[in-house]
Amino acid sequence: MSQAWDRFVESLEGSPTEGLHTLDVGALAELRGAELARATDELLSRLHIGFAPVSRALGLLRDPRVRPALERHLHVAQGPDRIATADALLQHEMSPEVLAVVEEGLQDPDDEVAREAVDAIERLGREAILADDGRLLRALVGAAARHPSDNLRVGAAKLALYAKSVNDSPWSWGHREKWVGIADEDPEQRRRGLRELCKLVQISPDAV
pLDDT by residue (tens digit) across 131-187? 999 999 999 999 999 999 999 999 999 999 999 999 999 999 999 999 999 999 999
3-class SS string, the chain: CCHHHHHHHHHHHCCHHHCCCCCCHHHHHHCCHHHHHHHHHHHHHCHHHCCHHHHHHHHHCCCCCHHHHHHHHHCCCCHHHHHHHHHHHHCCCCCHHHHHHHHHHHCCCCHHHHHHHHHHHHHHCHHHHHHHHHHHHHHHHHHHHHCCCHHHHHHHHHHHHHHCCCCCCCCCCCCHHHHHHHHCCCHHHHHHHHHHHHHHHCCCHHHC
Res 163: pLDDT: 98
- pLDDT bin (cut points 50, 70, 90) of residue 50 is very high
pLDDT over 60 at 17, yes or no: no
End-to-end CA distance of the chain: give it in Å, rounded. Answer: 52
CB atoms within 10 A of CB 87: 27
Res 70: pLDDT: 98
Structure-model confidence comparison of residues 56 and 1, the more confident one: 56
For residues 15-42, give the mean pLDDT: 83
Structure-model confidence comparison of residues 64 and 207, the more confident one: 64
Give tens-digit pLDDT for 78-127: 999 999 999 999 999 999 999 999 999 999 999 999 999 999 999 999 99
pLDDT over 70 at 19, yes or no: no
Res 18: pLDDT: 47
